[in-house]
């Protein structure tokens, strides 16, 4: 029997229509376009304005885009992994609702939360299910409605985040394509530097926590930046060394889109030419779990069968890592 590898065979994406530009943010908080662009590389981000729509809406749209483009029957999907840091609600899994809404009623589903590394961790998980031989079609969705947890009076965070979703389909491959290697890590020291303080079991919701804005994302930017630059670059470099790859062997780097300076530092460590670094942060900002699949959707036309693609991410907690994947198809 041939060895099974797990390959991405289809990509889908969705971003809301409303565009929140740096110019608009200038009217909301004490900031300006030049400051934001210089420090983050972000020019605009998409916002889901509908108060009655949550992360599931973004995820459903991205999944439906993939299903339509790949022309697959939702009933053939075996399982769905929902990578998100902003589920619709506690306890009731967002992924389960998404599966039902897209007609994937033969699939089981669950949520996976590792902050900005959620999709990267989800790639590892989805691939493992496929490689086990038990599942043929695993849909991995990365989606976040970050606007629901951002304090738009906090100029340190409101300039960074946007809403969006992407999805990929993992299927068995017998040509040696797909996920080749992974290096995933975490360190609980990050718990105090990037978090939403209240709303969990440690500090349950109360009138006081709402009044104190403790249900919004808070971060120590300098500390997070330092850890992100070091760990994303280290993980990516290790993946190359472990697989005897040089910068010439790498066709594309798909980095988490949190900050252009972090992306540049990672690419610099690998000595990659700018043409090999896929970046769309200027249009979407940091969509957390949505960044990696949104990059794939935007640059799918560039990816060729057999391409060596390196993924890298860093998230709150702290969580981080890198994945080496051989691309499995040419877009028609």
Establish if 136 belongs to a structural domain: yes
Nearest by Cα to 84 from 58, 119, 54? 119
Read off the pLDDT of residues 45-60 as tens digits, 9 standing for 90 and up.
Answer: 999 999 999 999 999 9
* CA angle, residues 81, 255, 285, in degrees to nearest 5: 85
What pLDDT shows up at residue 221? Answer: 86
Read off the pLDDT of residues 21-74 as tens digits, 9 standing for 90 and up.
Answer: 999 999 999 999 999 999 999 999 999 999 999 999 999 999 999 999 999 999
Q: Identify whether residues 11 and 153 lie together within a single domain.
A: yes
Read off the pLDDT of residues 243-270 as tens digits, 9 standing for 90 and up.
Answer: 999 999 999 999 999 999 999 999 999 9
What pLDDT shows up at residue 275? Answer: 96
What pLDDT shows up at residue 140? Answer: 99
What pLDDT shows up at residue 167? Answer: 98
Quick one: how far is CA 114 from the chain centroid? 10
Whole domain around residue 184: which residue ranges? 179-327
What's 323's domain CATH number?
Answer: 3.40.47.10
**Residues labelled catalytic:** 116, 256, 286
Give pTM, 2 decimals: 0.96
Kindly give the interhelix angle for 118-131 and 291-299, rounded to the nearest 10 degrees: 70
Residue where a domain stops, chosen among 177, 211, 235: 177
Q: What is the mean pLDDT of residues 213-217?
A: 93
Q: Identify whether residues 189 and 291 lie together within a single domain.
A: yes
- Please identify which residue in the block is written with the tokens 């695993």: 138
Q: What is the mean pLDDT of residues 200-206?
A: 93
Q: Identify whether residues 264 and 148 lie together within a single domain.
A: no
- Which of 253-284 are b and which e, b meaning 16 or more Cβ less than 10 Å from the residue's Cβ? bbbbbbbbebbbbbbebbebeeebbbbbbebb
**Peptide bond just before 318 cis, omega within 30 deg:** yes
Phi, psi of 250 (to 5 degrees): -80, 125
Q: Identify whether residues 138 and 111 lie together within a single domain.
A: yes
Establish if 332 belongs to a structural domain: no
Q: Which residues contact 90 (CB under 8 A, 6 or more apart)?
A: none
Residue 242, classed as helix, strand or coil, is helix
Distances (CA, A) of 261 to 33, 109, 324: 16, 35, 22
Statement: residue 234 has pLDDT above 90: yes
Q: Identify whether residues 38 and 123 lie together within a single domain.
A: yes
Number of domains in the chain: 2
Q: Identify whether residues 160 and 204 lie together within a single domain.
A: no
Q: Identify whether residues 56 and 134 lie together within a single domain.
A: yes
Statement: residue 280 has pLDDT above 80: yes
Residue where a domain stops, chosen among 177, 193, 220: 177
Residue where a domain stops, chosen among 177, 204, 238: 177
């Amino acid at each position: 029997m041939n060895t099974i590898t797990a390959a991405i065979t289809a990509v889908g994406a969705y971003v809301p229509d409303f565009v929140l530009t740096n110019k608009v943010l200038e009217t909301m908080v004490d900031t300006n376009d030049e400051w934001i662009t210089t420090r983050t590389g972000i020019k605009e981000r998409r916002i889901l304005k509908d108060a009655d729509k949550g992360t599931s809406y973004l995820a459903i749209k991205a999944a439906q885009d993939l299903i339509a483009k790949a022309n697959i029957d939702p009933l053939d999907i075996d399982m769905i992994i929902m990578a998100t840091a902003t589920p619709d609600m506690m306890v009731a899994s967002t992924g389960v609702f998404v599966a039902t809404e897209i007609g994937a009623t033969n699939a089981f589903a669950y949520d996976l939360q590792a902050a900005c590394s959620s999709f990267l961790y989800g790639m590892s998980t989805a691939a493992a299910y496929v490689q086990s031989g038990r599942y043929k079609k695993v849909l991995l969705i990365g989606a976040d409605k970050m606007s629901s947890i951002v304090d738009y009076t906090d100029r340190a965070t409101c300039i960074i985040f946007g809403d969006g979703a992407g999805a990929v389909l993992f299927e068995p491959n017998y040509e040696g394509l797909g996920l080749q290697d992974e290096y995933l890590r975490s360190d609980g020291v990050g718990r105090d530097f990037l978090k939403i303080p209240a709303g969990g079991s440690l500090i349950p919701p109360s009138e006081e926590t709402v009044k104190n804005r403790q249900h919004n994302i808070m971060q120590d930017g300098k500390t997070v930046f330092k850890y992100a630059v070091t760990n994303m670059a280290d993980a990516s470099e290790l993946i190359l060394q472990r697989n005897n790859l040089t910068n010439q062997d790498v066709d594309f780097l798909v980095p988490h889109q949190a900050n252009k300076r972090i992306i540049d530092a990672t690419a610099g460590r690998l000595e990659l030419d700018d043409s090999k670094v896929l970046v769309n942060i200027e249009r979407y900002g940091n969509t957390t779990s949505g960044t990696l699949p949104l990059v794939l959707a935007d640059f799918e036309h560039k990816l060729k069968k057999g391409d060596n693609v390196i993924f890298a991410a860093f998230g709150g907690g702290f969580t981080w890592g890198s994945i080496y994947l051989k691309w499995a198809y040419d877009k028609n």
